[in-house]
Amino acid sequence: MERSESSSRVSAPYTGKRTLYGDKYVDVMKSYYDYVKSRIRIGVEGYSTSLKPIDLYRALESLFKTCGEVHNIQIRRDPVTNALQRSCIVILRGEGAGDKALQLNGSDIGGSKIVVTSLPSELSELSTGLSTDVLAARSVAHNRRKRSEGISVTGYDTSLTKDDLKNALTNHFSTCGEITDVFVLNSRALVYFYGLGSNNRAVQLSGTDLGGCTLVVKALPYPKPKGSAWTRLRYRFRSATLSTITGWAHQM
């Protein structure tokens, strides 16, 4: 890697390969979707909220282990009274585990008959009917666009049609990195890249010739999260999602 003398930023030569784990990123996301899809969520209520959490946990584990692997039991407390909430979630894995669990409706837990229901997946995307490999590819594509950086381009031949200009700009900046979008506006064009150092390489093409016209290329400011502190927190959480999922995948 080389460090520019005029900047403290480190730039790497473009290799033509995808960054951020490349195609392996799709594989990681598919594994994650497969993992979540395999988790069967069962809602349980009707038990006595006077039970100790550990006693409720053990009773539920003993009851539902006949259905398959008890992956997790989520028992929650009331934030004000600290008493058990009236419902909890049992997460199972295994073929037919969901159907077997529903047959336990009306079972006795601590002297009370419980109500067992099937809950939707944690990921709403899984309800679309799309396969996990399609969901993974779509998720990666969306994330790449979300993380792309752009340049503003002026000085081109404005008599060109939008399609011709898009093609010309795509070819002109193709050596800079992976282009995710090209927008032609009234007075300028915006080209977005995904990949480390792509914008720096694109800006260096300012002053180059395109069809007899001299281009002026400027970097667009990177978008920052706006809104409340909660919005900013969610933004940071989304930014950390990939590393979290990747870390989980390495532990599998």
Q: What is the pLDDT of residues 89-148, one digit of tens each?
A: 999 999 999 999 999 999 999 999 999 999 998 877 776 777 888 888 788 878 877 888
120, 5 in Cβ contact below 8 A? no
**pLDDT digits over 188-232, tens only?**
999 999 888 899 999 999 999 999 999 999 998 765 444 444 444
Asked if the model's pLDDT at residue 30 lies above 70, the reply is yes
pTM of structure: 0.56
For residue 123, the model assigns a pLDDT of: 79
Give Cα separations from 47 to 50, 89, 117 (angstroms). Answer: 9, 12, 14
Question: What average pLDDT does the structure give for the chain?
Answer: 81
The residue length of the chain stands at 252
Count other C-beta atoms under 10 Å from residue 2's C-beta: 9
The reported pLDDT for the residue numbered 141 is: 76
From its phi and psi, is residue 133 left (phi > 0), alpha (psi between -120 and 50) or beta? alpha
Check whether 1 has a pLDDT greater than 50.
no
CA–CA–CA angle 148, 154, 160 (5° rounding): 100
Stretch (H or E) spanning 56: helix 53-64
Contact of 97 with 49, CB cutoff 8 Å:
no
Instruction: Tell me which amino acid residue 98 is.
Output: G
Which residue type is seen at 169? L
User: Residue 4 pLDDT more than 50?
Assistant: no
Residue indicated by tokens 């944690």: 122
Residues 151, 99: Cα–Cα separation, whole Å: 54
